[in-house]
């Protein structure tokens, strides 16, 4: 029997002889070679010597040192390189004692395109490849949609696609409800529309006062000229503009561009609130709940949050903070390098900036209180679930499966995930059914395929179960047949310690009369007023919603599919260009090579490929 390797500060002491004063990154590993912590240092030898001391550490650091059995080192040229490498390794390895930002979504923008004589205004997310002016970021799609909704009332800019624009012969509904100037049918000329675009850009640049004054002047002139219909339309636009300003809530006068980042830490749980201030306007806020690394303090949490949050986002010129970070100069240097210009960090103590931070801190405090309350309720439900079904412990991860199809067509399997923090939507998955089970409307076969693919991949990616991706409980929408299919898959793969429960509608298929099926036990039911029953119903309904949504999306895609999708070299852009030029895929199939070459982006070689696809031989 092999001995357990030594751990603790004496092990760390042995590494000091091989280190010098170079900057770099270090990793601390336990006896199972799992990474406990990734850190950076301006001077590796000095930093590691701190860990080699037998005492004087916080409880968190003392636990980490006690578990450390080995270390790994990477030297860098500068401390900035060490910081960037550290954050990349933290995201990749997710060490237990590091602060980790778990929610890393992109943020939407408003785009006023410049690829058309009559620019389109729309929501944009992702890489900024399209020509035009981008305004953002906005905190959420809802914040963008609310602003777009009001901007269309004020500035009457079109939101239709270029293909739709080219095909119009009369104004659409947007014109009828006074949300578009109808440039598609000549109700406004290019110069007048350009003036509307300019006004919209001035508003989004923060010059709303000038825009409002111009509209008021135009309304007065129309009224004096007895053009009362035009005056009423301008009045409605002024009213909509006022509503936009009111809906934004916070409109600081002295802060043109900043992110306000406030942290609230309580009982080892953290909430970070980020408010986006652009053009002296609030463009929404979002809360984040970073993993606190088993007891990290505010400066470390906030520093890790900033470096990870702006890893793939452009920072503003000013970041207002509720707490100082550990290395403010280094973090500012990293953000400035990311933005390609100077970025300033500040912890304001008075004035308007301090008020913005206090408002964000209050939101963080309230959000964390709500989340902790919800987590407490969720834990009670998980404990009740374990008691009701004789589970060994409350499940940390529940996976719920459902299938959706219409008479076998466009069959899709759906998986949702829930745990102590509620629904984990970033881990939802959908499975396009590949086997004949879908076409044959074989629900058992579809369930077998989905579970086989899910657990086969899990066995390959994490056979040692070192991550939190392994479920403790599977809930299956169905009765004894589905349960048997799932248990068969798990038995074939050698998975023996995952509980499986089938949920069927029960008598009269009535909600509240569900029957629960477990392997080797008779069906059971829960009392109608049992909170655990309501909890399972919510889980099942969420899985049903997710699977049906995936099925509808697949069906809609199939409906809009054309033979052009199958031609090599014809992507979404060229497909749109061909359909806009010829009007239909059938017309494309009849076109000759010279006609196809007349379409922008279609070379002679591609035109011959398209023609050959429709005319083999």
Predicted local confidence at residue 380, as pLDDT: 93
Evaluate the omega torsion of the peptide bond into residue 137 and state whether it is cis, within 30 degrees of 0: yes
- 3-state SS of 183-247 is HHHCCCCHHHHHHHHHHHHHHHCCCHHHHHHHHHHHHHHHHHCCCHHHHHHHHHHHHHHHHHHHH
Instruction: For residues 408 and 429, give the distance between their C-alpha atoms in angstroms, rounded to a whole number.
Output: 20
Instruction: For residues 234 and 215, give the distance between their C-alpha atoms in angstroms, rounded to a whole number.
Output: 7
Q: CB-side exposure of 107: number of CA atoms within 13 Å? A: 23
CB contact at 8 A, 320 and 344: no
CB contact at 8 A, 155 and 135: no
**For helices 208-224 and 190-204, angle between their N-to-C axes, nearest 10 degrees:** 140
For residue 54, which of 16, 95, 13 has the smallest C-alpha distance? 13
The two structure tokens encoding residue 400: 């719920």
For residue 263, which of 220, 232, 225, 292 has the smallest C-alpha distance? 292
For residue 120, which of 90, 86, 151, 82 has the smallest C-alpha distance? 151
Predicted local confidence at residue 508, as pLDDT: 56
Instruction: For residues 287 and 292, give the distance between their C-alpha atoms in angstroms, rounded to a whole number.
Output: 15
Predicted local confidence at residue 1, as pLDDT: 43
Instruction: For residues 152 and 180, give the distance between their C-alpha atoms in angstroms, rounded to a whole number.
Output: 7
Radius of gyration of the chain (CA): 30
3-state secondary structure of 352: helix
Q: What domains appear along the chain, each with residue ranges and CATH number? A: 9-97 (3.40.1440.10), 109-247 (no CATH), 257-369 (3.30.420.340), 397-558 (3.30.420.340), 563-614 (1.10.150.20)
Cα distances (Å, whole numbers) of residue 580 to 244, 418, 584: 35, 45, 8
The secondary element (H helix, E strand) that includes residue 410 is strand 409-419
Instruction: For residues 334 and 82, give the distance between their C-alpha atoms in angstroms, rounded to a whole number.
Output: 11
Predicted local confidence at residue 496, as pLDDT: 85
Q: CB-side exposure of 10: number of CA atoms within 13 Å? A: 3
CB contact at 8 A, 305 and 99: yes
**Mean pLDDT split into 10-residue runs, the chain, 617 residues:** 73 90 94 93 93 89 93 94 92 91 80 90 87 88 84 86 87 89 92 88 74 74 77 72 58 84 92 90 88 86 94 91 94 94 95 94 93 88 94 94 76 91 90 78 86 92 85 91 90 90 73 83 89 92 90 71 77 82 82 88 89 80
The two structure tokens encoding residue 438: 């879908």
Instruction: For residues 546 and 415, give the distance between their C-alpha atoms in angstroms, rounded to a whole number.
Output: 8
- The string of DSSP codes covering 155-178 is H----S-HHHHHH-SS--HHHHTT
3-state secondary structure of 35: strand
b or e along 381-395 (b: 16 or more beta carbons within 10 Å of the residue's beta carbon)? bbebbbebbebeebb
Question: E strands within 291-365?
Answer: 291-292, 318-321, 344-346
For residue 399, which of 480, 467, 350, 455 has the smallest C-alpha distance? 455
Cα distances (Å, whole numbers) of residue 465 to 69, 100, 217: 21, 20, 69
Predicted local confidence at residue 288, as pLDDT: 93
First-to-last C-alpha distance (Å) of the chain: 72
Residue in the block written with tokens 């000229």: 225
CB neighbourhood size of 173 (10 A): 8
**For helices 208-224 and 228-247, angle between their N-to-C axes, nearest 10 degrees:** 160
Predicted local confidence at residue 335, as pLDDT: 95
For residue 426, which of 412, 411, 416 has the smallest C-alpha distance? 416
Q: What is the pLDDT of residues 108-132, one digit of tens each?
A: 999 998 889 999 999 998 888 888 9
Q: What is the DSSP letter of 510?
A: -
The two structure tokens encoding residue 344: 């300033």
């Amino acid at each position: 029997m092999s001995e357990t390797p030594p751990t603790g500060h004496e092990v760390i002491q042995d590494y000091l002889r091989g280190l010098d004063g170079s900057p770099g990154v270090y990793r601390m590993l336990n006896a199972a070679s799992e990474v406990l912590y990734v850190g950076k240092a301006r001077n590796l030898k000095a930093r590691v010597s701190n860990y080699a001391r037998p005492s004087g550490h916080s409880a968190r650091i003392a636990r980490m040192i006690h578990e450390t059995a080995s270390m790994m080192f990477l030297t860098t040229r500068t401390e900035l390189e060490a910081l960037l490498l550290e954050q990349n390794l933290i995201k990749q390895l997710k060490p237990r004692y590091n602060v980790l930002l778990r929610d890393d979504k992109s943020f939407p923008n408003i785009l006023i395109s410049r690829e058309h004589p009559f620019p389109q205004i729309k929501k944009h997310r992702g890489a900024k490849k399209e020509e035009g002016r981008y305004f953002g970021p906005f905190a959420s799609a809802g914040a963008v949609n609310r602003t777009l909704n009001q901007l269309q009332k004020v500035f009457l800019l079109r939101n239709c696609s270029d293909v739709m624009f080219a095909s119009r012969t009369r104004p659409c509904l947007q014109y009828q409800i006074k949300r578009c100037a109808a440039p598609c049918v000549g109700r406004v000329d290019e110069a007048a529309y350009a003036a509307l675009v300019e006004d919209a850009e001035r508003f989004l640049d923060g010059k709303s006062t000038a825009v409002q004054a111009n509209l008021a002047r135009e309304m007065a002139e129309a009224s004096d000229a007895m053009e009362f219909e035009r005056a009423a339309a301008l009045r409605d636009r002024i009213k909509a503009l006022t509503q936009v300003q009111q809906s934004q809530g916070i409109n600081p006068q002295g802060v043109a561009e900043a992110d306000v980042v406030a942290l609230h830490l309580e009982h080892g749980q953290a909430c970070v609130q980020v408010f986006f201030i652009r053009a002296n306007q609030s463009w929404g806020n979002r809360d984040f709940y970073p993993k606190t690394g088993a007891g990290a303090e505010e400066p470390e949490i906030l520093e890790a949050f900033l470096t990870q949050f702006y890893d793939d986002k452009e920072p503003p010129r000013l970041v207002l903070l509720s707490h100082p970070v550990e290395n403010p100069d280094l973090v500012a240097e990293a953000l400035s390098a990311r933005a390609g210009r100077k970025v300033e960090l500040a912890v304001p103590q008075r004035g308007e900036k301090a008020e913005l931070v206090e408002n964000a801190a209050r939101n963080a405090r309230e959000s964390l209180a709500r989340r902790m309350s919800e987590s407490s309720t969720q834990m009670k439900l998980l404990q009740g679930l374990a008691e009701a079904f004789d589970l060994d412990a409350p499940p940390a991860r529940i996976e719920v499966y459902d299938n959706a199809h219409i008479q076998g067509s466009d069959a899709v399997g759906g998986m949702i995930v829930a745990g102590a923090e509620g629904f984990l939507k970033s881990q939802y998955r959908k499975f396009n059914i590949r086997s004949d089970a879908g076409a044959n409307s074989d629900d058992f076969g579809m369930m077998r395929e989905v579970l086989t693919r899910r657990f086969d991949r899990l066995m390959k990616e994490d056979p040692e179960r070192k991550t939190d991706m392994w479920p403790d409980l599977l809930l299956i929408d169905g009765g004894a047949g589905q349960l048997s299919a799932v248990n068969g898959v798990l038995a074939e793969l050698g998975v023996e310690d995952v509980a499986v429960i089938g949920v069927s509608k029960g008598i009269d298929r009535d909600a509240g009369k569900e029957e629960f099926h477990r392997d080797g036990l008779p069906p059971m039911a829960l009392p109608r007023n049992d909170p655990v029953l309501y909890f399972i119903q919510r889980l099942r309904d969420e899985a049903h919603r997710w699977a049906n949504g995936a099925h509808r999306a697949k069906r809609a895609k199939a409906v809009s599919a054309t033979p052009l999708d199958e031609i090599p070299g014809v992507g979404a852009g060229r497909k749109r260009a061909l359909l806009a030029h010829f009007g239909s895929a059938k017309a494309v199939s009849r076109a000759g090579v010279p006609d196809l070459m007349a379409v922008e982006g279609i070379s002679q070689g591609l035109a011959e490929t398209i023609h050959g696809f429709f005319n083999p031989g």
